[in-house]
Amino acid sequence: MGCPYISVLTVSSGRRALLRRQADALRAQTLAPDRFEWVVCLNGGDDGTRAELEGLELPFGLRVVETDERLPAGRARNACAQRTCGGILLFSDDDCAPAPESLAAHVALQESGLCVALGAIDFASEAGTRRWRPRRARYWLLNGANSAVPAVHFRAVGGFSEALAGYGGEDLELGYRLARAGVPFRVLPAALTVHQGEDARAGADAGKARGAGANAARLARMYPELRWRLGLHPFQLGLKRFLLGTGLGGLLTALGGGSVAYERAYLEGAVGERAVGEGAVGEGAGGRPQEGPASMEDAR
């Protein structure tokens, strides 16, 4: 069999029900099934999910990758990419369900010229659905929910960085290197995915927030020119400390930050990692984690 045009890359750890939901969404695609494949990384080992996936009647190709230990998202996506055959890599996390026309829209755009494509996201939660549509093609909006990258460019820049640990930051870092390499970015609101649950920055997952903050500090050591984008500039640090310390965290959220709980834990993670690498970052930590859809205000 020949290689499909597009490979859908999904990383999952013990979330079988979400993978079944995603499989149903991929079955419903208007794109011909011989034009795409699904590459799933069972991150941290197989708990029986592989047998269930391989037992599904799927009209498109399926490849399953297993890792012995649970890897950060970027490294796990790299493991997927090593097994792909398609010329376009579409990042689609396991809590995302592409709308029926989504893959066809991605293919049509890439056939008009290779680029990094930034699709749209509906965040569906008990509180309702919050819509995000990228309005500007910016490297920091690359995300793991609905972004497509030509495989040739992905491999030319070395894929996702494996220098980061834990949660957050890998998408911005890859986007930055792709932009520096001259790869064009384009918005694609016609390609929609439905994300199960709210944007992480709107929640109160302290573990994710601290991880994102720590990785932001690591990225600032790697790329000092990104301190402002990462929220690591001294002015940003001072403003956040003031707002969080005086009970005005809601104003921080209104200015485009995450929830108060998220921003507080993010700041803790960044400051803690800065202490580990003292002197390499300079004064400043905290700010907004740039994980693609984690910086929705920048798309407006």
For 193-231, the pLDDT digits (tens) are: 999 987 777 766 778 888 888 888 889 889 999 988 888
For 42-83, the pLDDT digits (tens) are: 988 777 889 999 999 999 999 999 998 888 889 999 999 999
Assign a CATH topology to domain 6-198. Spore Coat Polysaccharide Biosynthesis Protein SpsA; Chain A (3.90.550)
Query: Residue 221: enclosing H or E segment and its boundaries?
Result: helix 206-222
For 129-172, the pLDDT digits (tens) are: 988 998 899 999 999 999 999 999 999 999 999 888 888 889 99
Q: Are 106 and 6 within 8 A, CB to CB?
A: yes
Question: 273: helix, coil or strand?
Answer: helix
Q: How much is the pLDDT for 203? A: 66
Taking CA atoms, 173 is separated from 105, 196, 286, in Å, by: 25, 25, 17
The more confidently predicted of residues 165 and 120 is 120
Q: Are 230 and 287 within 8 A, CB to CB?
A: yes
List Cβ neighbours of 155 (8 Å cut-off, separation of 6 or more): 81
Q: For the chain, what is the largest distance between any 2 Cα atoms, rounded to a whole number of angstroms?
A: 63
Q: What ranges do the domains of the chain cover? A: 6-198, 201-299
pLDDT exceeds 60 at position 235: yes
As a whole number of Å, the CA-based R_g of the chain is 19
What is this structure's pTM? 0.85
**pLDDT band, residue 294 (cuts 50/70/90):** very low
* Mean pLDDT across the chain: 85
Neighbours of 15 (CB within 10 A): 15
Instruction: Please give the Cα distance from 83 to 104 (Å, whole number).
Output: 22
**pLDDT band, residue 243 (cuts 50/70/90):** confident
**Residue position matching structure tokens 């990785």:** 215
Instruction: Please give the Cα distance from 146 to 106 (Å, whole number).
Output: 10
Query: Residue 188: enclosing H or E segment and its boundaries?
Result: strand 185-196
